[in-house]
Amino acid sequence: MTDGRHWLPRRAQGSVAPTSQTWVPGWWRWDKDAKGRSSWARGRVLASLAVLVSGLLAFHAAVPNTVGHLGSLLEAFLPWLGLAVPMLLLLALLRRSTTALVALLLPIAVWAQLFGGSFLPGARGAHDMTVLQHNVSDENTDPAGTAKALTDAGPELIALEELTPSALPRYETALAPGYAYHAVQGTVGLWSKYPLTDVRLLDIKPKGFEASWSRGLRSSVRTPWGEIAVYVAHLPSVRVRLNGFDSGHRDESAELLGVALSAEKLHTVILLGDFNGTLDDRGLAPLTSRMNLPARNFAFSWPAAFPVSRIDQIMTRSATVTDLRTLPATGSDHLPITAGVKLSS
């Protein structure tokens, strides 16, 4: 044939010579191509890309952050780098490259090691109390409905961000029946079933911000397992701009919060908030290096319409997060997250 199609003989029964042929599409043949290259010699560029994806997954911390905070940008969406695998797989099949297919085993293995545990079934771990974190959005038109959805989850502690002066009374009214104690500093608040003491403003304001900017509080909570410190914080937003990932203010605020955590005298600490970053993001290292982190999972909290990242976090010190999951959407652009916390030894 001269049209690029290939014909393979079909063996007849017994010793009779072949009498018919079976057509096989050219793109499915894995023998040498028109240039005489075998399937092992083709697709070296695709194989190199597979190795590159593996390197970015495994050594993301080595990506420099000096120009445009590219390292933080990569880490903000690190699990999604796995989407490169099916794309490279399709190209490897079209290229009929055995080399590229073998090379793809490397990013698959690295991604599975990092995130595969999220797909494994696991029973809810034993815990002493349940905590809930939610950025309720300053554009939420249904504070009462949001508050009811949160209380239905039955947490002992509720941390809220983006509380506006107009909406705050509605949250206070809706949450009062189940939560006798609460504290608010600026736009963040904490509601508790246990008494709150030593409540104070947490100053995490970056340089140059207005004096009225207030997004942090610290409180002691008298629980049946002893007194613990609870921190609620909302770090500054980040932006993806033409010159890179703008996270400078957030990183500065994280540094201030990390200093406060280091100075905390109570043994047990629970940290809740919207940190505008994932636990892989090195910009949050002042926090993640000091706290116990929950196990990796895909409890993405933002944006609520199609969550791609978890920027709302629950961390602990001298305690363990035994379970972390998202709740159904409220009137916010974030999903609430809730976790069990093991306090007792």
List, for residues 62-102, the tens digit of each pLDDT value: 999 888 888 998 998 999 999 999 999 999 999 889 999 99
pLDDT digits (tens, 9 = 90+) for 98-131: 999 999 999 999 999 999 876 666 556 689 999 9
- At which residue do the structure tokens 């410190």 appear? 229
114 and 139 inside one domain: no
Q: Domain for residue 64, yes or no? A: yes
pTM of the predicted structure, to 2 decimals: 0.84
Q: Per the domain annotation, does 124 fall within a domain? A: no
Indicate the residue among 119, 137, 161 that finishes a domain.
Answer: 119
Residues 278 and 323 in one domain: yes
In one letter, which amino acid is 27?
W
In a domain, 8, yes or no: no
How much is the mean pLDDT over the chain?
90
Tell me: do 258 and 333 sit in the same domain.
Answer: yes
Beta-strand ranges (E) seen in the chain are: 6-10, 20-24, 129-135, 157-161, 181-185, 188-192, 196-201, 216-223, 226-234, 239-241, 244-246, 269-274, 312-317, 320-326, 337-342
Is 16 contained in some domain? no
Q: What is the dihedral of CA 69, 71, 74, 79, to 10 degrees?
A: -140
| pLDDT number for residue 80 | 93
Structural domain harbouring 177: 129-342
Please state, in angstroms and rounded to a whole number, the distance separating the CA atoms of residues 85 and 90. 9
We report the CATH number of the domain holding residue 172 as: 3.60.10.10
One domain for residues 141 and 223:
yes
Q: Number of folded domains in the chain?
A: 2
Does 5 reside within a domain? Answer: no
Q: Are residues 99 and 161 in the same domain?
A: no
pLDDT tens digits for range 262-314: 999 999 999 999 999 999 999 999 999 999 999 888 899 999 999 999 999 99
Is residue 89 exposed (0-12), middle (13-18) or buried (19+ Cβ within 10 Å)? middle
The amino acid present at 231, given as its one-letter code, is Y
CA-CA distance, 213 to 238, in Å (whole number)? 16
